[in-house]
Amino acid sequence: MTKNIFLSFLFSICSFVCTAQTNVSGGIYQNATWSLAGSPYIVNGPVVVFPGKTLNIEPGVEIRINNQTSSTIYIETRGTINCVGTDALPIKIHAMYDTMNTVAWQGFVCTSSQGGVLNADRFQISNAYFPFSYETPLANYNYTNCTFKRCFQAVTVGESVNLSNCQFIDNEVGVYGWANFTIDDCLFKDNTTSIYAYASVLTMTNSDFIDNQIGLSFVANIFDSMYISDCQFLNNGLALNYPNKGKVENCLFTDNATAIQSAYKCEIVNNEFLYNELAIQASVNADIHNNQINNNMGAVLIENVTNVQDSPTIYDNEICGNINFAVNNNTNMNYSLLSNCFCDLDSAGIEAMIIDGYDDITKGLINYQIYDSSCTVLLGTVLKYGPGAGINELAFEVSFENPVNTELSLLSEMEFTSIQVTDLSGKTVISGHSNSQVTNVDAKDLQTGVYLVTMSQDGILSTSKLIKN
């Protein structure tokens, strides 16, 4: 009998401990502490810390927001709130019901006009509309080892923010604002937009963007700049939008719909682009070099350039194994993409992967070079226009009737030493030699289709597209 009473007593104590919680709402008129011993704290209505008073929230405290109440819940300070956890004991703030109710759970509010101060760091917060809202933006936001999950707009800043080892997961917007951004070792995953920054200076290193609709959208003006290094962009819709007046280096872009869109006055160097639908959209004064741009659906798209002086420079890249195109010149200007390796040994294979004036007369032409498969030995140069030539001017003008029926009559403005006709698979169907500006080639045995005619003179190649009826 005594044993049964004792066991019943122990069960009662356990039940009390296991269900212990502190219900809070209303005003805080005296200094207060939300202690680990009183955790979890159930917030059933708005909480206001009045001027001159301080609420300290201890490390490890759990705050549960009753987001199914009829009232709008916020935690406001007109005095001071210290919400600072530790690496081992972060403060956990989350809705009791795992849905984002933008009416019920507004977040923390700092009313600075009444002397409000909000210190927050090393926390985990979820399901809030604006997790931390400041009436007057702070000069500096410093968040370390923090998690923002399923919030509408996780971090909103107006001056500067430093984020280190933070996670942004399944938010509508992860980071938003106009500021000096310093971001290191952060994870952005499953967000609609991870970072939306404008009128800003951005420095970001060692961070990962995974499964977002938009990774980083950088909307800039003439005062803005950015530096992105050693980051990974994996399986995003749009990984990096409008990188501006800075550098993107040593990053990995894999399985994105578009890896980089509208590269504007930006250096893109030493990155790897793999299995993207589009790797790079090159725009005004982009400097794209020393990248590996391989096995994408489309590699480099040149567009949104209207003046020669604004043209992008593209050199010393490895552009191999792409499906639809290696380079697409969607402008009416010519480009010399010399010192790029396409991992193909002849002009026919490369030409098939370059979209330019040979495919659409509204587009400009593209010069290129041919390297061996190791991208180290230069095998030849294809010049469709000469150095300094205007639009649609060739290195040496070659004319012939097109389409051709039985005889190909070639007329060049300079003597050429050899001629080669290949089909689009790279197979040579006609070859010969000449030391004249005029030569006739028997074409009656050619099957109907499209071919490439390559003529050489002193190591300079000129390639033209031939149509056989």
Convert the pLDDT of each residue in 146-197 to its tens digit.
999 999 999 987 778 899 999 999 999 999 988 788 999 999 999 999 999 8
DSSP 404: B
Which of 92, 120, 148 terminates a domain? The answer is 120
Instruction: Please state which of the ranges 118-127, 415-424, 442-451 shows the lowest mean pLDDT.
Output: 415-424
In a domain, 107, yes or no: yes
pLDDT tens per residue, range 220-263? 665 578 899 999 999 999 999 988 788 999 999 999 999 999 88
SS3 state of residue 295: coil
In a domain, 359, yes or no: no
User: What pLDDT is stored for residue 197 in this prediction?
Assistant: 86
Categorize the per-residue pLDDT at 86 as very low, low, confident or very high, splitting at 50, 70 and 90. Answer: very high
More confident residue, 393 or 29: 29
Burial class (CB in 10 A: 0-12, 13-18, 19+), 453: buried
Q: Is residue 386 pLDDT above 90, yes or no?
A: no
Highest mean pLDDT among 45-49, 307-311, 374-378: 45-49
Q: Is residue 458 pLDDT above 70, yes or no?
A: no
More confident residue, 263 or 433: 263
Counting the structural domains of the chain, the total is 2
User: What pLDDT is stored for residue 71 in this prediction?
Assistant: 76
Length of the chain: 469
The mean pLDDT value for 2-31 works out to 63
Instruction: Please state which of the ranges 100-104, 140-144, 218-222, 355-359 shows the lowest mean pLDDT.
Output: 100-104
Q: How far apart (Å, rounded) are the C-alpha atoms in residues 69 and 25?
A: 12
In a domain, 295, yes or no: no
In a domain, 2, yes or no: yes
Check: CB of residue 415 under 8 Å from CB of residue 443.
no
Categorize the per-residue pLDDT at 13 as very low, low, confident or very high, splitting at 50, 70 and 90. Answer: very low
Which of 76, 101, 120 terminates a domain? The answer is 120
Q: Is residue 320 pLDDT above 50, yes or no?
A: yes
Q: How far apart (Å, rounded) are the C-alpha atoms in residues 105 and 96?
A: 10
User: What pLDDT is stored for residue 390 in this prediction?
Assistant: 32
- Token look-up 């280190």 returns 164
In a domain, 432, yes or no: yes
Categorize the per-residue pLDDT at 8 as very low, low, confident or very high, splitting at 50, 70 and 90. Answer: very low
Q: Which domain holds residue 456?
A: 398-468
CB within 8 A of 328, min separation 6: which ones? Answer: 298, 300, 301, 302, 303, 354, 355
pTM: 0.80
In a domain, 362, yes or no: no
170: left (phi over 0), alpha (psi -120 to 50) or beta: left
In a domain, 248, yes or no: no
User: What pLDDT is stored for residue 447 in this prediction?
Assistant: 84
User: What pLDDT is stored for residue 67 in this prediction?
Assistant: 81
Categorize the per-residue pLDDT at 9 as very low, low, confident or very high, splitting at 50, 70 and 90. Answer: very low
Return phi, psi of residue 133, to 5°: -120, 125
Which of 102, 120, 138 terminates a domain? The answer is 120
The mean pLDDT value for 259-285 works out to 93
In a domain, 94, yes or no: yes
User: What pLDDT is stored for residue 394 in this prediction?
Assistant: 38
Q: Is residue 214 pLDDT above 70, yes or no?
A: yes
CATH number at residue 409: 2.60.40.1220
pLDDT tens per residue, range 63-73? 999 988 767 89
pLDDT tens per residue, range 395-416? 445 556 667 877 777 766 556 6
Indicate the residue type of 60: G
How confident is the prediction for the chain on average, in pLDDT?
A: 85
Q: How far apart (Å, rounded) are the C-alpha atoms in residues 280 and 285?
A: 13
